[in-house]
Amino acid sequence: MERENNTYTGGRRYRNDDITVYWKPDACVHASYCYRELIEVFDPGRRPWVDMNGSTTDRIIEVVNMCPTEALTWKWNDEEKNKDISPDQTNHVIFRRPELLIEKEKVLEKNPVSIKIMMDGPIVIKGDFTFKYSGNNKEMKDGIISICRCGASNHMPFCDGTHRKIGFEDK
């Protein structure tokens, strides 16, 4: 595995022979799909936290595509192959497992807001909604917020990943 500073995304990148995974920490909302699905590759307790030798390229792509933000994205190392990527092979377009699907069709049809309870983690809210917090009203357009559910975040009301440190368990 090779890690290097990445001027392209402003984050970091991790490569294997086939693909490069880009990591933008500022975009992470701690939805935690990555490490729940593939701790062998994405281990927040390890440095560096991404180990591209931990699984197959196909599996890494599958899990990166589950990321609900652009915190994790990927590209083929062979630029020619990137020209042939179809929409369903990139992030944000499909989640391949039905139980992870965020009701894309319904959002397009009726515009409901998606409220997803992450396992032992935050509430991830996506869509168009009014966000009321401390007397403020903020109009969210295709927005995404992640709200602490463990009670221990240092960045209330938002999730900052502390649930993992304190071992929050949703019983």
Partner 1 sequence: MATDANNKSFTIVEVIDGGPLKITGNLILKDPKKEISDSPAEVSLCRCGRSCNKPYCDESHKR
Nearer of residues 39 and 100 to partner 1, judged by Cβ: 100
Site size toward partner 1, by CB under 8 A:
38
Question: DSSP of 28-85, one letter per residue?
Answer: -----HHHHH-TTTB-TTSSSSB-TTSS-HHHHHHHHTT-SSSSEEEEESSHHHHTT-
Do 65 and 95 touch, CB atoms closer than 8 A?
yes
Nearer of residues 60 and 125 to partner 1, judged by Cβ: 125
Residues 70-129 that bind partner 1 (CB under 8 A): 99-100, 102-103, 106, 110-117, 119-120, 123, 125, 127-129
Taking the complex as a whole, how short is the minimal distance between the CB of residue 6 and partner 1, in angstroms? 33
b/e map 110-125, b = 16+ CB within 10 Å: eeeebebebebbbebb
Taking the complex as a whole, how short is the minimal distance between the CB of residue 68 and partner 1, in angstroms? 12
What is the C-alpha separation between 31 and 18, in angstroms, rounded?
Answer: 26
Taking the complex as a whole, how short is the minimal distance between the CB of residue 156 and partner 1, in angstroms? 8
Nearer of residues 53 and 130 to partner 1, judged by Cβ: 130
Residue 56 interacts with partner 1 (CB under 8 A): yes or no: no
Taking the complex as a whole, how short is the minimal distance between the CB of residue 25 and partner 1, in angstroms? 24
What is the C-alpha separation between 137 and 32, in angstroms, rounded?
Answer: 28
Tell me how far CA of residue 134 lies from CA of 25, 156, 166, in angstroms.
Answer: 26, 11, 26
- For partner 1, the binding residue among 2, 26, 139, 142 (CB under 8 A) is 139
Residue 148 interacts with partner 1 (CB under 8 A): yes or no: yes
Instruction: Give SS3 for 109.
Output: helix
Nearer of residues 54 and 127 to partner 1, judged by Cβ: 127
Which residues of the chain form contacts with partner 1 (CB under 8 A)? Answer: 99-100, 102-103, 106, 110-117, 119-120, 123, 125, 127-134, 139-140, 145, 147-152, 157, 168, 170-171
